[in-house]
């Protein structure tokens, strides 16, 4: 019925509202999602990736930048995972946003999925 209404001439399409709980959806498993980011941490600058260049190269650059930053051992894996999305734009960011909930449990797993996409 909804699709029939949307096709009627002169009828504005319905406004789709976000699920109010969607901000809590995360692609990260609990062991990553529950780790707090280090205080006063800022991600090193890196060229944004839009999906048109070599994904292996982007992963290598990201790892190199993150290795240069001193991170507490207990939060290193989570920080690597959580920060990766901030290096993506365009179709690459859309891919990241659409990762299944709780599907990533390590940076290695995230890297593998990223290169495969």
pLDDT tens-digit map of 64-94 = 999 988 888 899 999 999 999 999 999 999 9
Confidence band of 35 (pLDDT split at 50, 70, 90): very high
How far apart CA 31 and CA 49 sit, in angstroms, is 26
Retrieve residue 16's tokens. 């789709």
Specify the pLDDT at position 17.
Answer: 54
Q: What is the mean pLDDT of residues 97-104?
A: 95
Q: What are phi and psi of 27, to 5 degrees?
A: -75, -5
Specify the pLDDT at position 38.
Answer: 81
How many other C-beta atoms lie within 10 A of the C-beta of residue 6?
A: 11
In a 10 Å sphere around its CB, with 0-12 CB exposed, 13-18 middle and 19+ buried, how is residue 42 labelled?
exposed
- Which residue has 């960011």 as its token pair? 93
Confidence band of 20 (pLDDT split at 50, 70, 90): very low
Residues 81/32, Cβ–Cβ less than 8 Å: yes
């Amino acid at each position: 019925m909804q699709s029939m209404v949307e096709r009627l001439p002169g009828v504005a399409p319905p406004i789709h509202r976000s699920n109010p709980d969607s901000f809590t959806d995360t692609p990260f498993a609990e062991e990553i999602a529950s780790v707090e980011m280090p205080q006063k941490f800022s991600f090193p600058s890196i060229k944004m990736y839009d999906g048109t260049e070599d994904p292996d190269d982007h992963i290598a650059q990201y790892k190199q930048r993150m290795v240069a930053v001193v991170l507490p051992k207990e939060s290193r894996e989570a920080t690597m995972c959580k920060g990766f999305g901030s290096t993506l734009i365009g179709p690459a960011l859309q891919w990241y946003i659409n990762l299944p909930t709780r599907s990533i449990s390590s940076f290695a797993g995230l890297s593998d999925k990223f290169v495969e996409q």
